[in-house]
Structure 1
Amino acid sequence: MITCIGGLLAVIIYSIFFTDTRRGIIPYRFYNVLTNSMEPKIGTDSLVLVKVYDKSMKIQKNDIITFSANRFGEKIIITHRFSHTERNKEGETVYKTHPERSNTLDVYEMVWYKKS
């Protein structure tokens, strides 16, 4: 029991200080949902544990995903529902998302980049 609690605490502490997935070895990250866009499923100020995505994973329509986006020049982390993929002008796969109670797509796009 103490080992399990210690292990969980180690994961939490590691996730707090090493949220950059390029440095991480643990495939999970904690994020705080700052807005009500995912209510009632996920409440404002909720802490979510997210598995780091890799291309072998299959994202299904309406899966909840957390991703980095550029919103008006600011890098933000967003948790929304996945809708579908499209190709942009550069031929990259773009992941389209939307908030919990809306089917209106987000104006920002998420493109998965291969780590170098």
Structure 2
Amino acid sequence: MIYKRILGQGLTFIMVLLFIIVAGSVILSKISGGTPTFYGYQLKSVLSGSMEPVIHTGSIVAIKPGGDTSGFKKGDIITFHADENRLITHRIVEVVRNEQTNQVIYRTKGDSNDAPDIEPVLSANVVGRYTGFTIPYVGYILSFAGTKLGNVTLLIVPGLMLFIYAVISLWKTISSLEEKKQGSSIEETNPKTT
């Protein structure tokens, strides 16, 4: 019985801690106007099925940004700018290196697409490399977080949940102390006789 209680409290503590870390990271990056990051990795929403079954629709993926964007090889999964407003995460199927200009161009393709992408990707347009870390369906939430309603919700709901959790914990502690106090006062008024 006591082990279940300790395990439950430990799991609750870990979940609250993880929630605070992730929510804080996302909220801070949204407030600063940047991309959500988590310890140097960018979190990106994947809202199409072009990379299934490796990356499911609605997932978030961790992207390692920066580095030498001309050093990727065939088989790597990269995230790149398709235009100013759209990012795509696809697999490299061919690397073309122009020896005269030292420019690298990638041919990419979604795993579930029938043909490679029409437009080649300049190495300068690559945001980063997919790390292999993905969480299914959370991308929908992250996409919602980019809206005004989502920003307000992400600021209010976690704070409200933590406040309610604190009130319930405080209430349980006070109730427990009152029960102990009443129990000890009953023992004092009715001393045991031997």
> Would you say same fold, with TM above 0.5?
yes
Identity %: 30
**Is 1:63–1:82's contact at 8 Å kept on the other side of the alignment?**
yes
**Is 1:80–1:100's contact at 8 Å kept on the other side of the alignment?**
yes
Gap regions ≥5 residues in structure 1: none
**Is 1:93–1:111's contact at 8 Å kept on the other side of the alignment?**
yes
* Cα distance, 1:27–1:95 mapped onto 2, change above 3 Å: farther
**Is 1:15–1:29's contact at 8 Å kept on the other side of the alignment?**
no
* Cα distance, 1:58–1:103 mapped onto 2, change above 3 Å: farther
**Is 2:49–2:112's contact at 8 Å kept on the other side of the alignment?**
no
Give, as a single letter, the amino acid of the residue that structure 2 aligns with 1:30. Answer: L
SS of 2:23's partner is helix
- Number of residue pairs matched by the alignment: 107
The structure having more radius of gyration, on CA atoms, is 2
Greater relative contact order: 1 or 2 (C-alpha under 8 angstroms, separation 6 or more)? 2
Of 75, 79, 88, the residue aligned with 2:89 is 79
The answer to which structure has the higher helix fraction is 2
Equivalent position of 1:104 in the other structure: 115
Q: Please state how far the C-alpha of 1:94 moved relative to its aligned partner.
A: 1.1
1:31 equivalent to 2:44? Answer: yes
Runs of 4+ in 1 over 6 A off after TM superposition: none
Instruction: Map residues 1-116 of structure 1 onto 2, 5 A cutoff.
Output: 1=14, 5-16=19-30, 17-19=33-35, 27-55=40-68, 58-70=71-83, 75-87=85-97, 91=101, 92-102=103-113, 104-113=115-124
